[in-house]
Structure 1
């Protein structure tokens, strides 16, 4: 359902659905958060992406390479390369291997 809203750019509806899931006792999974992070990134919302990332961790979910790449992309798009590089370092410390896409996102800043 969330992916459907995202596909038609129903950002607010996608976020509302996620919040409704949580209130109903249905915990979102990593894929749900990755989809929302991707949407925040497209909309230029580094603050929202960061909040979602923290919320995801509060639920005990482990970020994957896609999660980190989306968050890095949000900061690159906001021209905050220092924060993007910090997140990249955190990703590597967490044992997550960067993908080609991760490197491309970082290089897109330069």
Structure 2
């Protein structure tokens, strides 16, 4: 049994090649306008989830969508999953507003995102 549970997947980031065109598609899909609309990131909040669009995979070099598991203690969760065999892809760091993100790779090469809101 692990010491810290997750709060579920609430954030999914998608790498996109054309941010403007992708924004239109996701706005049509989700039925809402973006809550964040910058040249480096477009985000939508709907149904208790955050869907983000990252041009060309962003600094984390995403090749496919990454689901972010919300956790109360990101450092503890990184320690738990690496002890179980995952490897760190992106160490925990603040992305603004006290939000911490990290990512790990499971034994099959799947990227798992972790997110902690302060």
TM-score w.r.t. length of structure 1: 0.27
Name the structure with the higher strand share: 2
Higher helix share: 1
Which protein has the larger Cα radius of gyration, Structure 1 or Structure 2? 2
With CA pairs under 8 Å and 6+ residues apart, which has the higher RCO, 1 or 2?
2
